[in-house]
């Protein structure tokens, strides 16, 4: 794991990053670079799908070619669909078959109208174009277990049965073999249609899991969590851990000022740690033996299989700045790009606990990717995501960091009493051939000359920088004007092991082992 040693709160204090590439923590699951597409705002219509585009940007199926190219560039391994809050009233049956016979329905989550012109078959075709796996979320609001079983049969059935034959009738002979299924979305939330208590949800989730696994034992199920630190999470994990493969948690970071913004993701790191402890707590058996002295004896975990965490909604989002019912189209700054770098460092540092993570969302809605009818542009947050997805794979490496710490206001306020907010946030990974070191310098004003005690006799280091001295924290991108992007250089240490991380920058250093 990454360890931070806090030096004096002096920007001139000597910074040091120490690591040994052979000291690996755990495998990095590629699924942590997943995406999320919901029927919300312009994510689907005008994002993934725009059949009436007359600027040559769509293929014969109406899919945006430029969006597909970006998903391929990011190498997105899995995409969650169709929600999100949207799923609580979604009838999947409305989105299959001839398009002129598909009904339009009121959409209650985001106060819109769902035309159902893009549904299950379109999403599966789109996933095939991208080269990604689908992750479907079941409607546990207005939906029934019968609906859920029917959807699973439609997607994965290979026998002579009704819904499998419906899929064949709609032009899709082979099953889709959807592996990942979520048992509802944010069922604890008071904004949800058919909000549940934790007791009602857990009881229902177990019964659904039992039936779904009877129909297709190969699938992986994800239980519905809150933020990882709630009594809902404790109870649902306790009751459902034997029936599911992952437990989901959601968290959005944000802050009105730069330091409140970049400190917010540390609450997500704490949430991962707490959720992990709750999973272990649920798996531990206690023997209330009368001997000796009615002591509690720990007898080990229940079974070898341990559910992992599915962080299937995460991002930087200020809901007042970008309201959900108005499309949630955030304009991201360089400060947000640094927060993105910290988020991804957190995932690498805690990769042992994570089975999947899906950024919410992937196109237009609080997204690193924005489209118009004439093109698209990549927001500031796109670039750290690209660098991580491209290079931070394989195994995470343990890192020791000495640096100054931030001591001012944080969001949430309690996070500073729980963990250090370092001026240099760090993670490292190796694929067995290359070492990759990701460093966020969150300081508004100071560069940090840092001793790197790993390079040895390296003659050449690839350098990728987002932000830095030539930028302002308020810089943002727009169509035709991408101010913030990746700067690529090469560093030749030539005997020096000190590298200067520029103020308000994200830097990825990469060298051969």
Catalytic positions, written as ranges? 186, 313
> Does residue 70 sit in helix, strand or coil?
helix
Burial degree of 434 (CB within 10 A; 0-12, 13-18, 19+)? middle
> Do residues 353 and 309 touch, judged by C-beta distance below 8 A?
yes
CA distance 80 to 235: 25
**Residue 197, token pair as written in the block:** 């208590």
Contacts of 275 (CB under 8 A, 6+ apart): 225, 228, 229, 233, 237, 247, 249, 309, 353
Going from the C-alpha of 261 to that of each of 51, 258, 339, the distances in angstroms are 38, 5, 7
**Residue 97, token pair as written in the block:** 């078959």
Burial degree of 99 (CB within 10 A; 0-12, 13-18, 19+)? middle
> Do residues 61 and 67 touch, judged by C-beta distance below 8 A?
no
Angle at 140 between CA 135 and CA 144, to 5 degrees: 110
CA distance 89 to 79: 20
* Residue 508: strand pairing partners: 438, 464
**Residue 227, token pair as written in the block:** 């933020």
> Do residues 247 and 279 touch, judged by C-beta distance below 8 A?
yes
- Specify the length of the chain in residues: 513
Residue 99 has, within 13 A of its CA and on its CB side, a CA count of 11
Number of other residues whose CB lies within 10 A of the CB of residue 131: 12
Burial degree of 293 (CB within 10 A; 0-12, 13-18, 19+)? exposed
Element (H, E) at 94: none
Q: What are phi and psi of 346, to 5 degrees?
A: -60, -40
Going from the C-alpha of 199 to that of each of 203, 236, 238, 285, 404, the distances in angstroms are 6, 8, 11, 21, 45
Q: What are phi and psi of 113, to 5 degrees?
A: -125, 130
Contacts of 89 (CB under 8 A, 6+ apart): 105, 107, 108, 109, 139, 141, 142, 193
């Amino acid at each position: 794991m990454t360890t931070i040693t806090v030096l004096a709160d002096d920007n001139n204090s000597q910074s040091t990053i120490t690591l040994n590439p052979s000291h690996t923590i755990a495998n990095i699951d590629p699924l942590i670079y997943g995406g999320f597409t919901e029927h919300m705002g312009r994510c689907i219509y005008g994002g993934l799908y725009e059949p009436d585009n007359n600027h040559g940007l769509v293929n014969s199926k109406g899919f945006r070619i430029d969006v597909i190219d970006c998903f391929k560039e990011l190498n997105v391994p899995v995409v969650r669909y169709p929600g999100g809050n949207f799923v609580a009233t979604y009838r999947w049956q409305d989105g299959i078959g001839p398009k002129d016979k598909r009904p339009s329905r009121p959409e209650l989550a985001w106060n819109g109208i769902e035309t159902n012109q893009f549904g299950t078959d379109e999403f599966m075709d789109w996933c095939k174009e991208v080269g990604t796996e689908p992750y479907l979320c079941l409607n546990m609001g207005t939906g029934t277990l019968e609906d859920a079983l029917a959807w699973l049969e439609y997607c994965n059935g290979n026998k002579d049965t009704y819904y499998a034959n419906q899929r064949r009738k709609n032009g899709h002979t082979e099953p889709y073999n959807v592996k990942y299924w979520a048992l509802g979305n944010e069922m604890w939330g008071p904004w949800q249609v058919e909000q549940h208590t934790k007791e009602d949800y857990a009881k229902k989730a177990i019964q659904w899991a039992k039936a779904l696994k009877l129909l297709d034992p190969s699938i992986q199920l994800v239980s519905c969590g809150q933020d990882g630190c709630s009594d809902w999470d404790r109870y649902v994990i306790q009751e459902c851990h034997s029936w599911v493969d992952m437990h989901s948690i959601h968290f959005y970071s944000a802050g009105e000022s730069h330091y409140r913004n970049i400190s917010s993701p540390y609450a997500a790191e704490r949430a991962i740690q707490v959720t992990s402890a709750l999973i272990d707590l649920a798996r531990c058996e206690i023997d209330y033996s009368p001997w000796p002295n009615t002591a509690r004896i720990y007898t080990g975990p229940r079974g070898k299989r341990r559910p992992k965490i599915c962080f299937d909604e995460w991002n930087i989002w200020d809901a007042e700045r970008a309201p959900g019912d108005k499309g949630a189209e955030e304009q991201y700054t360089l400060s947000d790009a640094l927060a993105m770098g910290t988020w991804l460092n957190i995932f690498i540092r805690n990769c042992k606990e994570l089975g999947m993570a899906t950024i919410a969302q992937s196109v237009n809605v609080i997204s690193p990717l924005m489209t118009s009818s004439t093109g698209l542009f990549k927001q500031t947050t796109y670039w750290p995501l690209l660098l991580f997805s491209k290079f931070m794979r394989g195994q995470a490496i343990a890192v020791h960091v000495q640096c100054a710490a931030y001591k001012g206001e944080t969001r949430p306020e309690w996070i500073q009493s729980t963990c250090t907010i370092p001026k240099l946030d760090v993670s490292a990974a190796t694929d067995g051939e290359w070492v990759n070191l990701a460093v966020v310098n969150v300081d508004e004003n100071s560069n940090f000359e840092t001793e790197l005690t790993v390079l040895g006799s390296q003659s050449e280091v690839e350098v990728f920088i987002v932000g830095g001295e030539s930028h302002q924290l308020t810089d943002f991108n727009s169509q035709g004007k991408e101010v913030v992007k990746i700067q690529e250089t090469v560093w030749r240490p030539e005997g020096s092991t000190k590298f200067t991380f520029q103020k308000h920058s994200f830097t990825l250093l990469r060298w051969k082992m």
